[in-house]
Chain A
């Protein structure tokens, strides 16, 4: 299988008329692991939602291609079928819908993108077997499959459930939005190992969005980017993580005064909303 590239160029995104991303450039090849870091409100989650196709995130300029597929022309479900996956920071709950039932629909759609609505789902037997194996690998109890999707899940269970979905859907590219938040160190390790296993087996290109170095000890990025004031201002290798950990964002602030102003504005309006 030829490796694909996720290519984001000059991406501008507004939410409710307010510009959040102001020209993001990012290129990820399959098989690579990238980390995207940045302070709260820098637009990290906006990037993940916009790429996945949330209707409230308006693309005002720029392009995003997965291989030769123009993602911005597609609905969210078509983007999933094209090979994009987002592990949500705050996965929503769907009462009454079991994890297993939901995942069987999801896996069927993603693996058989040409299937017409109403045609058979993937075989229950094969699906169950595969699900059980993936759950075992993630140290998840068998009960999990019968629970309602994210309903009453603890923070850690939600994140694990996201990685289980990643493992079942085997995408070409995965964005992990703050997958480490709310997890204790053991859970970070288990979840990270899960991501690494999928990435290795599928040659998945991974974009880890995070605040902290912690998860990057387990999912080791070759490339690190800093998002600040709606733009990627620094690109580097793992050493950038160490620098951030040691010095925080003050030096970024000093180095990019214009982005710092944007950042302050966004923070002010965000806290006004809260």
Chain B
């Protein structure tokens, strides 16, 4: 794999290859910097929203202003909430075909390879540029079966009852400061509804792109998987490199009903000036399966702990997370599982790699409620540290209120092994090639869970990150 890859990346001098940007001169609307009641009302106004959503937003703002900044996780002190544009509308129309998308925006997604991927292996695509979704498509046969895959703003307009029933039920406004912020200023994101018994066998993908400087992107995603239904949703994220920070603070709510399955895969590759503070949570009902596959590369600080609340008997949760922390980066990632019903099972596998002074932390919560008898949980977190300047920490929180449970927890921290390097080098591999092979091997258990195309992408990203990291 490294070979064809090598040819592709040969010309790339920077670590981050998605750092290009388009001019923002043609924006349809760009809010002034800063956050207040007026900003929130203006967003709601422009979107022509129902009264209940306006009230929801204002309550979000109030909660955001009341809640203190979290003092755990990463350093948020440099984040200036008044130096951010909260709403940027790049175009006033959404395309159903890429030809309808304004040329300069389409150029961006072409460079990211989205239209090409859509042709090859996706059932539907949503593309968000700044605050709103500029392109959406869904395979016709799925639409005919009642599958809904649209952007959140359109959903609020076109499926008001469904949205009102579920919106904010998994992650309430007052869940945390950033969920409150998102509740106040959310825009864009995906709405996915899979009717009972419908199995969507190839992935739906959403792509989130920040282009403007000092931009805040606050997408809001809601996925409802009815009984016995199945879906795999994939999101990718990138942004240009600027000297000042941008903020990405999404909320993702998922409901998986009896016997349903949902897999949510993230390959996040933000530029190193993005604060990525995301709340992701799913509720899994009886015999449902929720899987989070979470790849975190890039960003200045990521704080993200995908969660599954297992509320029905026999529900299952899987969280696979990988974090790569390079120079100046802090990846504070992990997972959260709550066993609230009998015979529920969960598995968390977390792998982190730190290099060039990067810092990665695993932060996890495992909670088993009284009455969730017969539940099982297994947590494995492994960290690989590539040089002495880098750092890795583990913060596992475990609360067990039930006796009849099986819990496993393993954590390991390893430095890239001198003996492993020597062994590979004695077989003719250069130091860099040997280190890349070891790192790829380290994340292999996770990468093999990804669909083929994303596994290839993930290996490529890792190799890009690894360039020049040794020697």
Contact = CB atoms under 8 A, between A and B. Distances in A.
Interface in A27-61: 52-56
A105 interface: yes
Contacts of B424: 94, 102, 106
Contacts of B437: 94, 97, 101-102, 105
A91 B423 contact: yes
A118 B467 CA distance: 11
Interface residues of B, number: 33
Nearest to B5: A118
Given A80-B425, A97-B438, A92 B419 contact: yes
Contacts, number: 102
B34 interface: no
Contacts of B433: 105, 109, 117
Nearest to B430: A77
A121 interface: yes
A88 B442 CA distance: 22
A95 B442 contact: yes
Contacts of A85: 426
Interface in B1-39: 2-7, 9-10
A86 interface: yes
Contact of B10 (A79, A118, A149, A169): A118
B425 A97 contact: no
A88 B7 contact: no
A75 B425 contact: yes
A47 to B, nearest CB: 14
Given A95-B441, A96-B441, A118 B426 contact: no
B418 A105 contact: no
A110 B427 CA distance: 7
A55 B418 contact: yes
Contacts of A118: 2-3, 5-7, 9-10
B427 A165 contact: yes
A247 interface: no
A270 to B, nearest CB: 18
B390 interface: no
Contacts of A96: 440-445
A119 interface: yes
A92 B423 contact: yes
B420 A148 contact: no
A80 B426 CA distance: 6
B422 interface: yes
B195 to A, nearest CB: 39
A246 B232 CA distance: 70
A85 B431 CA distance: 17
Contacts of B441: 94-97, 148-149
A4 B420 CA distance: 30
Contacts of B68: none
Nearest to A116: B6
A198 interface: no
A119 B2 CA distance: 8
A81 interface: yes
B426 A52 contact: yes
B2 A55 contact: no
Contacts of A75: 425, 431
Contacts of B444: 95-97, 148
Interface centre among B10, B430, B440, B445 (most CB of A within 10 A): B430
A120 B422 contact: no
Nearest to A110: B428
Interface string B267-291: 0000000000000000000000000
Given A96-B445, A117-B433, A55 B422 contact: yes
A180 to B, nearest CB: 20
Interface string B429-461: 111111001101111110000000000000000
A76 B426 contact: yes
Interface string A175-191: 00000000000000000
A133 B2 CA distance: 25
A73 to B, nearest CB: 15
Contact of A94 (B7, B428, B438): B438
B332 to A, nearest CB: 24
A148 B442 CA distance: 11
B420 A94 contact: yes
Query: Lowest 4 A-B CB distances belong to which pairs?
Result: A118-B6, A96-B441, A96-B444, A109-B428
Interface of B: 2-7, 9-10, 417-420, 422-434, 437-438, 440-445
Given A77-B425, A91-B423, A105-B427, 15 more contacts: A52-B426, A53-B426, A54-B422, A55-B418, A76-B425, A77-B430, A86-B426, A94-B423, A95-B441, A95-B442, A105-B437, A117-B433, A118-B3, A120-B4, A165-B427
27 contacts: A54-B422, A55-B418, A75-B431, A76-B422, A77-B429, A77-B430, A80-B426, A80-B427, A81-B428, A92-B419, A92-B420, A92-B423, A95-B442, A95-B444, A96-B444, A102-B427, A105-B427, A106-B429, A109-B427, A109-B429, A110-B427, A113-B428, A118-B9, A118-B10, A119-B3, A120-B3, A148-B441
Interface of A: 52-56, 75-77, 79-81, 85-86, 88, 91-92, 94-97, 101-102, 105-106, 109-110, 113, 117-121, 148-149, 165, 169
